[in-house]
Amino acid sequence: MKIAITAASLLTPMEVVEQPVLVVEDGRIAAFGPRSQIPLPENARHYDFPNAILAPGFIDIHIHGGSGHDVMETDGSALAAIERGMLKHGVTSYLATTVTAPMPATLKSLEHLGAAARMKPDEARPCLLGIHLEGPFISHVKRGVHPPENLLRPSPELLRQFHEASSGAIRMMTIAPELEGSLETIAEATQLGIRSSLGHSNATFAEANAGIRAGARHATHTFNAMRLLDHREPGILGAVLSDDSLTADLIADGVHVAPSMVKLFLTAKGIERAILITDAISATDMPDGKYKLGEFVVEVKGNRCELEGKLAGSVLTLDRAVRNVMGYATLSLQDSVRLVTLNPARLLGIAETRGMLAPGCIADVVVLTPSGEVITTMAAGKFLS
């Protein structure tokens, strides 16, 4: 059956269509345009949101959990709970993000997530695009809360072992470029189709640029777990903010990065190369308390997640991040939506099917108020019930 959705406007997000109709058939977008040009199909199920805005479903490339569960849990019900929570916040696809853990636990989680990525649920659920490997190839100096005893020296051999355990589901890897073996590992990642992201790093400007030359094309939670910017030794931040070949992501929760620095980040990277992430943990959408992040327990009070005084992920949701940057940097809803749709899709090489509202794309749609609040979400042609 065809579905026809009407609203006040539609963000592709490259352009704005006023008074649109969006036609969905067999889980994909069949057509869209102004109602004056696209008639409502006969016998289509019609959903009308007269004061709302249609936008592509959001893509979170860095999320550890939510709704009381962590993605590294190997119980299938955990991912289902996390995904139901994400859908309420407009997220229709994501990368399950691991945290440094003992090798047996890491391999077991990668195997479980790899299998989950191949499943096709019948209900409306976000698509698990693959895995973001955050750790163990990170700096001891900038490890954050990642357990030091489980950090490993990067090597192509270890990366292949992780990739094989996941059945090829690793799509992104955070790595510190200054570590011995990192440049060879970045090159191997490129051969495997894995996006290398610079992060959890104390790299100098020269070391960061060496990682970029080796194949890194992204940066993980800019400013956090990175060498501080200095006017004589710009370090990794200098490279991330100034190199137009890099995209970069940021946690816009007002806790990890001050609002004024969010504006600076967006000015430096531009709306074409900036991406918003949540870095959300199991405590997201839950009351204050103690929650798991990988193998360890984090204390959550308000918007802060801490372990021994260090920030340990967030309870941010991606719709809140969109609204925050609208306020922090006076971005339009259209530009803010781009940071969680088209930009991450282009980074992952999936912009032909996700991250845009266009004929042939998967029908991932979020219905928003003009201020960016989520009204409802459609995943692959199915509305959240």
Q: Which of 79, 184, 197 lies closest to 132 in space, CA to CA?
A: 197
Sheet strands (E) in 169-269:
170-175, 195-198, 218-219, 247-251
Q: Which residues are catalytic?
A: 279
Q: Is the backbone peptide bond immediately before 154 cis, with ω within 30 degrees of 0?
A: no
Report the alpha-carbon angle 29-30-34, nearest 5.
95
| C-alpha distances in Å from residue 370, one per residue of 55, 108, 146, 287, 302 | 11, 43, 39, 28, 26
Residue 310: strand pairing partners: 307
- The single-letter code of the amino acid at 337 is V
Closest to 182 measured CA to CA, from 156, 164, 143:
156
Q: What is the H or E stretch that residue 190 is in?
A: helix 182-192
- Tell the burial category of 158 from Cβ atoms under 10 Å away from its Cβ (0-12, 13-18, 19+): middle
**Which residue(s) pair with 91 in the sheet?**
58
How many CB atoms neighbour CB 149 within 10 A?
Answer: 6
Q: DSSP characters for 104-153?
A: HHHHHHHHHHHHHHT---SSS--EEEEEEEE-SSS-STT-TTS-GGG---
Residue 65 identity (one-letter amino acid):
G
What are the two backbone dihedrals, phi and then psi, of residue 226, each rounded to the nearest 5 degrees? -135, 150
- Please list the residues that pair with 218 across neighbouring strands: 197, 247
CA distances from 338 to 247, 317, 357, 381 (A): 13, 16, 11, 21
